């Protein structure tokens, strides 16, 4: 069995968690740049992960505060997956990854960091993106500042008509 080491995530793991839902708080606030929200749809939004596994690690998050996939109406479900496709297209256009990991972690044993508000993780991957820094130094190199990535992705979304 191989082990996946992600020591750069320790900052998030050890950080003090908000008492209220971080996603619900973001939705209510009117500061998308601060909250790294890239796009607001009718039922879901696209946000950057503040503690990314890779540059361009994005999430699709429903406005509905729910930890389950059942009970969604057709519009919510359709837009959720449409935004997942938009995220993949956006990252292909801007970052040219070799592949993607997409995942929804339901429950703490599955790795959900935010238990009560379901979200889809979209992580761009490049051949060789786990290199000697990760393996030998237990350090992840994120080569671009998160705000620079945000500005680049927002501009690309506008070019895409979003």
pLDDT at 7 (0 to 100): 60
For residue 18, tell me if it sits in a domain: no
For residue 37, tell me if it sits in a domain: yes
For residue 11, tell me if it sits in a domain: no
pLDDT at 113 (0 to 100): 75
Q: Which residues belong to the active site?
A: 119
pLDDT along the chain (162 residues), means of 10: 55 63 94 97 96 90 93 96 98 96 84 84 85 53 78 96 94
CATH code where residue 47 lies: 3.30.428.10
Q: Which domain holds residue 58?
A: 24-159
First-to-final CA distance of the chain: 43
Structural domains of the chain, count: 1
Distance CA 123, CA 18 (A): 24
For residue 70, tell me if it sits in a domain: yes
What is the SS3 string spanning the chain?
CCCCCCHHHHHHHHCCCCCCCHHHHHHHCCCHHHHCEEEECCCEEEEECCCCCCCCCEEEEECCCCCCCCCCCHHHHHHHHHHHHHHHHHHHHHHCCCEEEEECCCCHHHCCCCCCCCCEEEEEECCCCCCHHHHHHCCCCCCCCHHHHHHHHHHHHHHCCC
For residue 94, tell me if it sits in a domain: yes
pLDDT at 22 (0 to 100): 92
Distance CA 65, CA 46 (A): 15
For residue 106, tell me if it sits in a domain: yes
The tokens for 134 are: 């990760």
pLDDT at 99 (0 to 100): 95
Question: What is the reported pTM?
Answer: 0.81
For residue 10, tell me if it sits in a domain: no
For residue 105, tell me if it sits in a domain: yes
């Amino acid at each position: 069995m191989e082990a996946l080491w992600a020591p750069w995530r320790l900052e998030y793991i050890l950080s003090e968690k908000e008492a209220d839902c971080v996603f619900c708080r973001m939705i209510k606030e009117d500061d998308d740049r601060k909250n790294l929200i890239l796009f607001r749809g009718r039922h879901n939004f696209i946000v950057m992960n503040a503690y990314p596994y890779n540059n361009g690690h994005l999430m699709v998050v429903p406005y509905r505060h729910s930890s389950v996939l059942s009970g969604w109406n057709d519009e919510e479900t359709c837009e959720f997956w449409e935004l997942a496709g938009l995220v993949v297209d956006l990252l292909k256009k801007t970052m040219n990854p070799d592949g993607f990991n997409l995942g929804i972690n339901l429950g703490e044993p599955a790795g959900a960091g935010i238990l009560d508000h379901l979200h889809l993780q979209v992580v761009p991957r490049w051949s060789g993106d786990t290199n000697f820094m990760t393996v030998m130094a237990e350090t992840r190199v994120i080569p671009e500042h998160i705000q620079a990535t945000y500005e680049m992705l927002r501009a690309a979304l506008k070019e895409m008509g979003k």
